[in-house]
Amino acid sequence: MSVIDETHDPRRESWVTSAKGHAEFPIQNLPFGVFSPSRGAPRGGVAIGDEIFDLRAGLEAGLFSGDAARAAEAAAGATLNPLMALSSGPRQALRKRLSALLFADNPERARIEALSAQLLHNASDCTMHLPAAIGSYTDFFAGIHHARNGGMRRDPNNPLSPNYKYVPVAYHSRASSVRPSGVAIRRPNGQRKLPSEDAPSYGPCRKLDYELELAIWVGPGNALGEPIPIARAGDHLFGLGLFNDWSARDIQQWESQPLGPFLGKNFGSTVSPWIVTTEALAPFRVPQPARPAGDPRPLSHLWDETDQREGAFDIALEALLMTEGLGAKGLPPHRMSASNTTDLYWTVAQMIAHHSCNGCNLAAGDLFGSGTISGPTTAGYGSLMELSNDGTREITLASGETRTFVEDGDEVIFRAHCRKAGCAPIGFGECRARII
């Protein structure tokens, strides 16, 4: 597990003015992403306040040495995969060096500030890209409240499948259609059939939905045939982001039997561009919530005492909806729900361990979706399928508009923050996309 050190000190401030008290990217965060300046090719950077620290420029200025230089070189290209493939040692060295460079009391401050025109780019002038070349994308189903809410329509007496509490259920989805935040998603066409209809028809999705999830980025991989033990699974996590697993519910409901999701899921997914590293998240690790009485204990390949003590994360989540009607009235996005990653039934380490337990080879830059993270009450439901009871209950927005599912022109926005007494709060930035 990651350690807490001077980089997490809440008293530490940056000489970058916008970073002081920044709600998302203070000096205690330092997430990684890939960006393009107004004139330049994609490259690795680090968010600091409203600016982006250019790692390539830092290397050219000779600001890094040793393991920090090795990690900066791995992170400076058009994808973060080389950085993700490194062990935690070089990553921690780079984090410490970046924190020192950006620290207000840095003895080198005058020299660094003199280079600020080359080192820092205004984030609003830059284009963000996918942070990694995604070789594989797997979507889990680890949010038990969402799983139960979905299963209630199938069997109110037994809403969860028999394997749910024994195994982190998942399926392989489409990596090539994952897009960064801000890229519009086109409403998909497909076969759909309502229970009242005698036969399926082909046309635009009528029940387009969002799913509020964590993006889980794999770090160092494993060789084919060599499972990752649960006690070491945390070493294979690079960091977390936000993920919208867009779902065409009517297409999904018709096609899913017997092999599961296909065209209802693979038309597009949206991921936040900044990856908050495991090192930055160290102060916000918490025990995995105890399983309810009567639930089975996971099998040995999924059970580790240390993971149970500190393998969960305390991350507050929000889903918001922006519509043309809200915009016309000058209103902000309407908050649809708020939940927390402690609502997940399985830890990230359990997902990694199970994914590889049969010898499946994970690779640096592989992406997991956590599954929809819903809270136990309506206020925390992470999808419109749940909020609207599959379209039978209208949701009234602040503008007076109503919704059951996402309409063309709507923009879905996810936000997340870590807050804890005695720690500087950090955020994830936004994961947002508009439907066209």
Tens digits of residue pLDDT in 142-153: 999 999 999 988
The sign of the CA dihedral 38, 40, 41, 44 is negative
Q: Confidence band (pLDDT; 50, 70, 90) for 194?
A: confident
Domains along the chain? 6-129 (2.30.30.230), 137-434 (3.90.850.10)
Integer-rounded Cα Rg, in Å, for the chain is 22
Query: Average pLDDT for residues 29-41, to the nearest whole number?
Result: 95
Q: What is the pTM of this model?
A: 0.97
Residue 355 annotated to the active site: no
Distance CA 185, CA 164 (A): 31
pLDDT of residue 157: 87
pLDDT digits (tens, 9 = 90+) for 55-85: 999 999 999 999 999 999 999 999 999 999 9
396 by DSSP, 3-state: which? strand
Average pLDDT for the chain: 97
Measured in whole angstroms, how far is the alpha carbon of residue 398 from the centre of its chain?
27
Distance CA 333, CA 320 (A): 6
Using alpha carbons only, give the angle 203, 209, 212 rounded to the nearest 5 degrees.
155
For the cut 90, the answer to whether the pLDDT of residue 369 exceeds it is yes
Catalytic residue among 8, 146, 354, 355: 146
Query: Average pLDDT for residues 382-391, to the nearest whole number?
Result: 97
Q: What share of the chain is helix, strand, coil (3-state, %, to 5)?
A: 25, 25, 50
Percentage of residues in the chain having pLDDT higher than 70: 100
Residue type, 387: L
Q: Which helix (H) or strand (E) holds 384?
A: helix 384-387
Distance CA 319, CA 337 (A): 5
For the cut 90, the answer to whether the pLDDT of residue 195 exceeds it is no
For the cut 80, the answer to whether the pLDDT of residue 1 exceeds it is no
Measured in whole angstroms, how far is the alpha carbon of residue 49 from the centre of its chain?
20
Q: Which of 52, 65, 61 is nearest to 94 (CA)?
A: 65
Alpha helix (H) residue ranges in 61-213: 66-75, 81-84, 88-102, 109-114, 116-119, 144-152
pLDDT digits (tens, 9 = 90+) for 214-226: 999 999 999 999 9
pLDDT of residue 243: 98
For the cut 90, the answer to whether the pLDDT of residue 231 exceeds it is yes
For the cut 70, the answer to whether the pLDDT of residue 276 exceeds it is yes
Relative to beta strand 312-313, strand 411-418 is: unpaired
- E-only strand ranges, 301-430: 312-313, 316-322, 334-340, 367-369, 395-396, 402-403, 411-418, 426-427
Distance CA 241, CA 291 (A): 25
pLDDT of residue 337: 98
